[in-house]
Amino acid sequence: MERHFDQELDDLKKDLLRMGSLVETAIFESVEALKSLDADRAQRVIDSDREVDSLENAIDEKTLDLLVLRQPVASDMRFIAMAMKIATDLERMADLAVDVAQRVVDLAVAPLLKPLIDIPQLALVAQRMTRGALDAFVAKDAEQAAAIILRDQEADLLRNAIQQELMEDFMMKDPASVPRAVPLLLVARHLERICDHATNIAENVIYMVNAKVVKHRPENLPPSS
């Protein structure tokens, strides 16, 4: 019986890592599709969301079954409850990558306004924060999770810089650029929100490890590695 329970927890962890890997791929693919304005590639990101949705449902059902049937205690309980919360965040992150892909479909009718530099940079931050938060979860490493939370500021700064450039250097100088600039501005916001969700995951990891709530309570943050 004990062995079987460990196996179930391990399956749950694998489902979350699979979801995380799909999210990372969706972020990368949606921004690659944006760089080349490839609507077919964007459509594949949109279609791939179904697997993420199924995984979220599967994780919700597994966690509730585990809670009901196994009546776990202490750290196992926290692991299972956090798995449910993390799945919610990952599903929203995949939806945001779909939002990026949707903007590519909107944009693919005309050339890009400019070569993209800051948006791929922000996408890279989003991918690294996603990977880092999941790694911290698997390693049960609160310090690694705290380091992820600090990276969120970088994402905010990049988002603001992208927005300012699009408004001041494009939309306000050339009104005809508006239909091509607004979707890029939204892409920056979608990517920054992905980073916010990675931050949520990192906060949940710290709770799982230390049994201390850090969300809205920075004084409980461990020193970052």
Instruction: Give yes or no for residue 160 binding a second copy (CB under 8 A).
Output: no
List Cβ<8 Å contacts ≥24 apart for 113-119.
113/166, 113/170, 113/177, 113/180, 113/181, 113/184, 114/170, 116/34, 116/35, 116/184, 118/158, 118/161, 118/162, 118/165, 118/188, 119/31, 119/34, 119/162, 119/184, 119/187, 119/188, 119/191
- Select the residue interacting with a second copy from 18, 114, 128, 215 (CB under 8 A): 215
* Cα 155 from Cα 27, distance rounded (Å): 14
Contact map string, positions 93 to 132, toward a second copy, x by CB under 8 A? ----------------------------------------
Which residue, 114 or 215, has its beta carbon nearer to a second copy?
215
Q: How far is the CB of 128 from a second copy (least distance, A)?
A: 23
Q: 3-state SS of 13-30?
A: HHHHHHHHHHHHHHHHHH
Give the binding range for a second copy (CB under 8 A) out of 1-9, 119-127, 143-151, 207-215.
207-215
Q: For residues 34 and 45, is the Cβ–Cβ distance under 8 A?
A: no
Per the CB < 8 A criterion, the answer to whether 76 and 104 are in contact is no
Nearest to 5 by CA among 75, 57, 87, 52: 75
Binding positions for a second copy, 126-155, rule CB under 8 A = none
84 lies in the binding site for a second copy (CB under 8 A): yes
> Site for a second copy (CB under 8 A): which residue of 128, 186, 222, 224?
186
192 is a contact residue toward a second copy (CB under 8 A): no
Tokens of 225: 């590695």
Binding mask 54-73 for a second copy (x = CB under 8 A): x-xx--xx-xx--xx--x-x
From the list 25-33, 119-127, 151-159, 185-193, the region that binds a second copy by CB under 8 A is: 185-193
In the region spanning residues 32 to 51, those forming contacts with a second copy, defined by CB under 8 A, are 50
Q: What contacts 61, CB < 8 A, 6 or more positions away? A: none
Instruction: Please give the residue ranges that form the binding site for a second copy (CB under 8 A).
Output: 50, 53-54, 56-57, 60-61, 63-64, 67-68, 71, 73-74, 77-78, 81, 84-85, 88, 163, 167, 171-176, 178-179, 182, 185-186, 189, 207, 213, 215-217
